[in-house]
């Protein structure tokens, strides 16, 4: 059985890991933390990874059964990663399951809020959701939320422009977020 796991893996088995790795790499871009006010904490990093996973899942919905299957694997990887991170942070075994359940519940709520925000182009719902979930209250919170919302909309558009088959194959292209001083300029 172990030999099949080692030698019998297909390239499609690596696809969710490659795609999840690309999402995490993008979520770790320092500009989010230095220029857009995302806290450089475990919670802030979770929020950014969850946001990028959400954007990928939105795009994968258009990929039929293969997209749904890959989306489920990405979702599972996100929470396996969070499980491991919580354990590394010293959370006890008995508490990890409860914390993962709470994170999953909050993730579903965020997905709904971000979907509604992306559908509402002028009403400020996306900015409000980002302020609630990602950007802490501070002097520049509104500006930071607007910059992050601009990035989220642009990234959603970019992902929608990429062939879903490429994403299902584990290939995704992200443009780098712009520093806050140029985030609104094109």
pLDDT band at 178 (very low <50, low <70, confident <90, very high): confident
- What are 73-123's pLDDT values in tens digits? 999 999 999 888 888 888 887 788 888 898 899 999 999 999 999 999 878
Question: In the predicted model, what is the mean pLDDT of residues 47-66?
Answer: 95
pTM, rounded to two decimals? 0.86
- Other beta carbons within 10 Å of 114: 23
- Please check the confidence at residue 134 and state whether its pLDDT lies above 70: yes
- Please check the confidence at residue 186 and state whether its pLDDT lies above 80: no
- What are 4-26's pLDDT values in tens digits? 445 555 555 789 999 999 999 99
* Separation between Cα atoms, residue 131 and residue 91, nearest integer Å: 27
Q: Compute CA distances 102 → 81, 98, 108, 113, 118, whole Å.
A: 15, 6, 10, 17, 24
Q: Compute CA distances 179 → 51, 114, 166, 184, whole Å.
A: 18, 22, 28, 9
């Amino acid at each position: 059985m172990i030999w099949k796991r080692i030698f019998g893996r297909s390239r499609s088995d690596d696809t969710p890991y490659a795609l999840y790795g690309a999402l995490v790499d993008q979520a770790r871009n320092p500009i989010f933390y230095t220029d857009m006010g995302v806290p450089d904490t475990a919670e802030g990093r979770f929020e950014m990874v969850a946001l990028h996973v959400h954007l990928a899942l939105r795009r994968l919905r258009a990929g039929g059964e293969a997209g749904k299957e890959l989306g489920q694997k990405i979702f599972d990887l996100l929470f396996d990663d969070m499980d491991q991170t919580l354990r590394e942070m010293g959370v006890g075994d008995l508490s990890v399951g409860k914390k993962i359940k709470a994170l999953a519940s909050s993730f579903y709520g965020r997905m709904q809020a971000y979907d509604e925000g992306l559908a509402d182009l002028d009403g400020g719902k996306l900015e409000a959701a980002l302020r609630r979930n990602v950007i802490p209250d501070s002097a520049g919170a509104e500006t930071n939320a607007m910059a992050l919302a601009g990035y989220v909309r642009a990234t959603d558009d970019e992902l929608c422009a990429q062939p879903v088959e490429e994403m299902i194959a584990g290939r995704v292209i992200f443009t780098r977020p712009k520093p806050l001083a140029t985030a609104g300029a094109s």
